[in-house]
Amino acid sequence: MKMTNRWNQFIYRIWAPVYDTFMGRFFYPGRKRAMESLDLKPGERVLLVGVGTGADLELLPGGIKAVGIDLSPEMLARCRSRLPLPGREVTMIQGDAQEMLAEESAFDAVIFNLILSVIPDPVACLRENLRSLKPAGRAVVFDKFLPYGGHITSGRRFLNGFSTLFGTDITRKFEEINAASGWEVVRDEPSLLNGMYRVIMLKKM
């Protein structure tokens, strides 16, 4: 099944009430490591692409200004229910993260947690949101991808037909997604499920 915004809005309307219950604890170590990798400092601005229910917000250090983007109004409603967060300024944008919705060159860091395997066009999502970074900014990706140089087996392709029904693609390759971004991978760490999930740090080439 091909991922579309229309389907994602439908499936994440269903996921919204139960997402944290079923997925919160499982994804927590990867989210935590991604946040640690950024080493955010008080006063910095961070963009969270695909902020979802806001599971990353509690990991933000004090003194941070954050903007979260998500397509699903139901997921954003869950996210807003976590606010306010003492010592952190958080605002939300409802919209399509395949487009640039935040200010250009305005952020010190961008977080792509569990969005590039979900959004219909991950290339556009990465490219457009990286434009919001300052020249010395940094970005982190926590998500699931095929290994570098890996091939999509017939079994994986078959299973992907089911996984996309639940709102995620298990056949994507980060090197292909990142090829057009102009950003360099500076660290790539295995994370959950024996490295199926990874934490990837990027800097501008």
pLDDT at residue 107, as a whole number: 98
**Mean pLDDT value across residues 92-103:** 96
Q: Is the pLDDT of residue 23 over 90?
A: yes
DSSP string, the chain: ----HHHHHHHHHHHTTTHHHHHHHHHHHHHHHHHHHH---TT-EEEEET-TT-TTGGGSPTT-EEEEEES-HHHHHHHHTT--BTTBEEEEEES-TTS--S-TT-EEEEEEES-TTTSS-HHHHHHHHHTTEEEEEEEEEEEE-PPTT----HHHHHHHHHHGGGT--S---HHHHHTTT-EEEEEEEE-HHHHTEEEEEEEE-
CA distance 113 to 45: 17
- Report how far Cα 120 is from the mean position of its chain's Cα atoms: 13
Give the C-alpha distances (Å, rounded to integers) separating 45 from 59, 179, 202: 14, 26, 17
Q: For 190, phi and psi rounded to 5 degrees?
A: -65, 145
Q: Judge whether 132 and 106 are in contact, CB under 8 Å.
A: yes
CB atoms within 10 A of CB 145: 26
Q: Is the pLDDT of residue 155 over 90?
A: yes
pLDDT at residue 64, as a whole number: 97
- What residues contact residue 21 under an 8 Å CB cut-off, 6+ apart? none
pLDDT at residue 106, as a whole number: 96
pLDDT at residue 95, as a whole number: 97
**Mean pLDDT value across residues 96-110:** 96
CATH number at residue 146: 3.40.50.150
pLDDT at residue 182, as a whole number: 86
**Mean pLDDT value across residues 145-169:** 93
Number of domains in the chain: 1
- When pLDDT is cut at 50, 70 and 90, the band that residue 142 belongs to is very high
Q: Judge whether 110 and 181 are in contact, CB under 8 Å.
A: no
* Range(s) of the domain holding residue 134: 5-204
Q: Is the pLDDT of residue 8 over 90?
A: yes
**Mean pLDDT value across residues 146-171:** 93
pTM of this prediction? 0.96
Mean pLDDT, the chain, integer = 96
pLDDT tens digits, 114-129: 999 999 999 999 999 9
pLDDT at residue 32, as a whole number: 98
